[in-house]
Amino acid sequence: MMSHSDVKKAVLAYSGGLDTSIILKWLEDTYDCEVVTFTADLGQGDEVEDARAKAVAGGVKSIYIEDMREEFVRDYVFPMFRANAIYEGEYLLGTSIARPLIAKRMIEIANAEGADAVSHGATGKGNDQVRFEFGFYALKPDVKVIAPWREWDLVSREDMLNYAEKHGIPVERKREGSKSPYSMDANLLHISYEGYDLEDPWTEPSESMWRWSVSPEAAPDIPEYIELKYKSGDIVAINGVAMTPAQVLTELNRLGGKHGIGRIDIVENRYVGMKSRGCYETPGGTIMLKAHRAIESITLDREAAHLKDELMPRYAKMVYNGYWFAAEREMLQQAIDYTQVFVNGDVHLKLYKGNAIVVGRRSEQSMFDERLCTFEDDQGAYDQKDAGGFIKLNALRLRMSALARK
C-alpha cells in the first residue's frame, strides 16, 4: 500500500472550478507532491481556457489542456449510439460516456510524466468516482488513486470557501443571480443539472435552468426537415454536407435545441445505491437515437435487431456503471459493430415542438421489399397459402396444451 510520502507526482482531473482549485492546493499540502493538471475539452464551453490561467496562478508547472471533441464523439459517443444505448428507458448517458476517455488520457499523462498517482474531484456519493477509478485500474492496475472527497474533512460549500480564503485560493464571486445554483456537467453530448431545488422530485425545474434548448412552447411554429446520411451505423453528413463526428453532434445540438428537443427530468438509480433526480438536455443525441433506429429498421435482420434490443439494457448499464474497459463491454461492442456493416442510407426527419419525427428512410441495402407487403397485386412475390402451414406448425404446441387441459 502506497503511503502519502510515496507520492511524488499526481495527475489531477482539473476544471479550474472551486472544487478542483482546492484539491490542487490540498494535494500539494497533504501529499507534499507535484501536481500535474489535465483539462479535457469535450465541448463543455469556454471555461476550458480559464483553467489554464488558474493552473498557472496556482503554480502548476505541467498543464495539459487538450481538445478531445473528435475522439470523444468518434470513439465513445458513436459506438454507444450504434448500440442504441439508453439507461432506464430515458437517460442517454452523457456524463457516463465521457469518464472513460478522461480516465484513459490521465493514465497516459501519468505514464509520460512518471506520476505515482491520479486524482479526481468526484464525491463519495456519486457514480463518477466509480467510473473514473474503474478506468484508472483497468489501464494501470497498480496506480495510486487519490479521492479527496473520501479523505478530507470538508463537508460543505462553506467549509470549502473558508479553506480557499485561508490558503489564498482565488474564488470567483459573481453577482447575485448570475451563477447557476445547480451542479452541472456538460460535454458535446449533453448538459446535466442536479442539486438545489431539484432535490425535491416534486418540484418542476424553472425555465431559466435550461441552457441549450428553448422550451417546446417557445420553439418555432414551422417544422424543420433534415436529412441524415449513415455509413456503417454512424452519421457522416447532414443535409448533404459531409461532417466529422464532432461537427455532426454540434450541428444536431443546434438544430435540436432550436426546436426544444432533448429535455428530460428523471429519477435514476445510481450504482452506489441511492436514487438521484437529474435533468438533462441532449438535443443532438435524442435526434441521433431516433434516426439510428429508423435506418436500422430497414437494414437489420429481424432477429439481429431483436437480439440487439435484448442486449442493449445490459450494455447501457455497463456504460452507466463505469465498465467501458471491461471485457464484456468490449465483447458486446464487437457484436454490435458487426451488425452495423450494412447500416447505410438516409433518414428524413421533421423537427417540431420538442419532437424528432421520422418521416422517411432509404438504403441501397434495404431489406424492405414493397412487393412482399403491398396490398395491391404482388405478381406472385408472396404465396399467401404458405401462411396456413406456418400458422398450424407454430400453433401445434398451443393446441396440444389446450387438449391436455381438458
| Binding site as annotated, residues for L-aspartate | 123, 127-128
Could you tell me which residues are beta bridge partners of residue 355? 352
User: Of the candidates 99, 84, 78, 14, which has an alpha carbon nearest to the alpha carbon of residue 50?
Assistant: 14
Of 37, 34, 31, 68, whose CA–CA distance to 54 is shortest?
37
Q: Which residues of 93-116 are buried (b: 16+ CB within 10 A; e: fewer)?
A: bbbbbbbbbbbbbbbebbeebebb
Binding site as annotated, residues: 13-21, 40, 91, 96, 121, 123, 127-128, 131, 183, 192, 268, 280
Residue 107 parent element (H or E):
helix 99-113
Distance CA(177)–CA(199), nearest Å, equals 19
Feature table: binding site for ATP: 13-21, 40, 121
Relative to beta strand 117-119, strand 191-194 is: unpaired
Type of residue at 274? M
Catalogue the E-assigned strands of 89-223.
117-119, 144-146, 183-186, 191-194
The set of catalytic residues is 19, 99, 128, 183
Cα 151 off chain centre by? 28
- Bridge pairing between strands 144-146 and 63-67: unpaired
User: What DSSP state is assigned to residue 191?
Assistant: E
Which string of DSSP letters, residue by residue, matches 215-271?
A: -GGGS-SS-EEEEEEEETTEEEEETTEE--HHHHHHHHHHHHHHTT--EEEEEEE-T
DSSP E strand boundaries for 17-62: 34-41
Is residue 313 within 8 A of residue 321, CB to CB? The reply is: no
In degrees and rounded to multiples of 5, residue 354 shows phi and psi of: 85, 5
The C-alpha cell of 110 is what?
Answer: 501519468
CA atoms within 13 A on the CB side of 85: 25
Residue among 184, 181, 203 at smallest CA distance from 281: 184
In our burial notation (b when 16+ CB lie closer than 10 A, e otherwise), range 215-244 reads eeeebeeeeeebebbbeebbbebbeeeebe
